[in-house]
Amino acid sequence: MIWLVASAIMFAIGAYGVLTRRTAILVFLSIELMLNAAALSLVAFSNLTGGLDAQVVVLFIIAIAAAEVAVGLGLIVAIFRRRETTNVDELRQLRW
C-alpha cells in the first residue's frame, strides 16, 4: 500500500512540474517522472494481486521511456541549436 501512495506522490510532483515549469528539459523530466510513477503503481498492483501481467507491461513502459528519451532529447537539442532557447512559452509557435 505504501508503494501506491509513493506512486501517487511521484505522479503529483510530475504533474506539478509539467504545469509550472517553463524550460523544455524540466517539462520533459516531469513527464518521465509521471511515466515512472505509473510503472510503480502497476508493479504495486501486481504485487498485491500476485500476478505477473502488470510487470510485463512495465517492461514495455521502460522501453517506451527509453525511446522517448532518445527522440525527445534529440528534438530539444535541435530546437535549442536553432532557436537558442528552451523556454516553452517562446516555443509555442514552431516557426523556424
**Cα distance between residue 25 and residue 9, in whole Å:** 21
How many independent structural domains does the chain possess?
A: 1
| Residue 15 φ then ψ, to 5° | -65, -40
The pLDDT value given to residue 94: 63
**Cα distance between residue 50 and residue 48, in whole Å:** 6
For CA atoms 9, 15, 16, 17, the dihedral sign is positive
Domain-located, residue 91? no
pTM above 0.85, yes or no: no
Q: What is the pLDDT of residues 49-74, one digit of tens each?
A: 888 888 888 999 999 988 988 998 99
CATH number, position 77:
1.10.287.3510
The 8-class DSSP code of residue 87 comes to B
For residue 17, give the amino acid letter.
G
